[in-house]
Amino acid sequence: MKKPDRERVPAAPSPQAASAPEGLDVSRLMARRYLPNAVLLFAGVAFSESSEASLWVKCQCARMLTELAGATSATTPAAPQPHYGNGDARGPDA
């Protein structure tokens, strides 16, 4: 069995920050830098009449815009509970 050539194995990239808090600061700076471009891209794909994206992709871009704007909650709402009343003969024991 042939041993793998060590020279062909890619090396891990060096970290961009020395610590976790410093890494968060770098990430925030990058987000502030690229967020306006991401918003324009999502809006262009979601709302452009000449966009060739599928309906699913357009919906995903619109969803991302609402999440970025803070218009929707990131958490999933609880499922509605069954309502037994107003002429419904079935109850929880039925």
CA distance to 8, 27, 45, per residue, from 30 (Å): 32, 5, 22
Residue 74 within a domain: no
Residue 90 placed within a domain = no
Full residue range of the structural domain in which residue 26 is found:
22-69
Cα–Cα distances in angstroms (integers) from residue 21 to residues 16, 24, 27, 80, in the given order: 12, 5, 10, 40
pTM for this prediction: 0.54
- Residue 78: inside a domain, yes or no? no
- 59: closest CA among 75, 47, 76? 47
pLDDT for residue 92 is more than 60 = no
pLDDT at position 27 is: 87
What is the tally of structural domains in the chain?
1
Q: What is the pLDDT of residues 15-53, one digit of tens each?
A: 878 888 898 898 889 889 999 999 999 999 999 999 899
- Which pLDDT tens digit goes with each residue over 75-87? 777 888 877 666 5
